Structure 1
Amino acid sequence: MRINSRQKGASAEREFAGLIADWCGVRLIRNLEQTRSGGHDLIVHPDEIGAVADAFRRLAIECKRYQTATDAQIAKWWTQALIQADDAGLIPVLAYRANRAAWRVVVPIYRINPALGTSQQIEHAATLTVEGFCLSMRETI
């Protein structure tokens, strides 16, 4: 049976959005403009209010769900996230999960500690668990 990559991507986006709702209490929805204009995958639900929801509105979240997640793939996905975030004037975030692995979230290190500079290179990014990412979103607002 052949897997439809669009359906798999949509499923991954919903899965990650559900984890964010569980850990942060913020509802994310699929960005329907992404198909037409190539934008980032998830946006904050328009009914969401509060400081944490506002912090999420500053992010361009790109989700990837693949069989494997090699360093080369992650670097390629990060470049895509950077381009999409730059186009939207937002902070890049890459959420990815390989088969039989937990979700990982890549953010520029300045998202966690602004004193560490403004580099967005993958070498200057932090890879967090979903729980760690949500903690950083709640505690750095």
Structure 2
Amino acid sequence: MSASQRNKGASAERELFKLLGDQLGIAVARNFDQTWKGGADSLSVQGWAIECKRCEALSLASWWSQATRQAERTQRKPILFYRQSRRPWKAVVDLHHVLPGTFPAPGNLAEIALDTACQIIRESLP
């Protein structure tokens, strides 16, 4: 990965985590261990493993697979946020983690707006 790609990713994380922090009312920080140990981009939101992507060419299947693997390591629910240039942030969640009574098995993904993702996260917090 080039330095410009790393900088773009870090900038995207800071942008997203500021938005999440403002909407959730908590500090959302970058997971600096992700570079050396692998793992989610942030573990600051209780119960969630946050993966952040800022890319023009979408690769949702592989990004979701990565988010799921990282969440399993920490026994958290995966959530993937992504954004293309001049477009709003979107999120991908598995409805199994949101409505387990209705969706008893994983595999039903939903693409939602940032505001909706924040509402789901808020509802899940103790």
TM-score > 0.5, shorter chain as reference: yes
Count of aligned pairs between the two proteins: 124
**Which deviations, in whole Å up to 9, do the C-alpha atoms of 1:73-114 show, x marking residues without a partner?**
101100111111112211111110011111111111023222
The RMSD of aligned alpha carbons is 1.7
Counterpart position of 2:12: 12
TM-fit CA distance, 1:137: 1.8
TM-fit CA distance, 1:118: 4.1
TM-score relative to the length of structure 2 = 0.89
Counterpart position of 1:128: 112
**Which deviations, in whole Å up to 9, do the C-alpha atoms of 1:10-30 show, x marking residues without a partner?**
111111101111211121101
Match of 2:29, SS state, is strand
Which structure shows the bigger proportion of residues in helix conformation?
Answer: 1
Does the CA-based 8 Å contact 1:108-1:119 persist in structure 2? no
Gap change, CA 1:127 and 1:7, over 3 Å in 2: same
Given the alignment, which residue of 45, 60, 73 partners 2:49? 60
Letter aligned with residue 129 of structure 1: A
Structure 2: tracts of 5 or more residues without a match: none
Letter aligned with residue 12 of structure 1: A
Distance 2:85 2:3 in 1: 14
Distance 2:93 2:29 in 1: 20
Counterpart position of 1:31: 31
Moved over 3 A (4+): none
Q: Does 1:138 align with 2:126?
A: no
Letter aligned with residue 93 of structure 1: I
Given the alignment, which residue of 71, 74, 86 partners 1:85? 71
Structure 1: tracts of 5 or more residues without a match: 45-55
Distance 1:114 1:75 in 2: 21
Letter aligned with residue 109 of structure 1: L
Once the two structures are aligned, what percentage of the paired residues are identical? 36
TM-score relative to the length of structure 1 = 0.80
TM-fit CA distance, 1:42: 1.0
Distance 1:119 1:29 in 2: 30
Match of 1:115, SS state, is coil
Structure ranking higher on relative contact order (CA contacts 8 Å, 6+ apart): 1
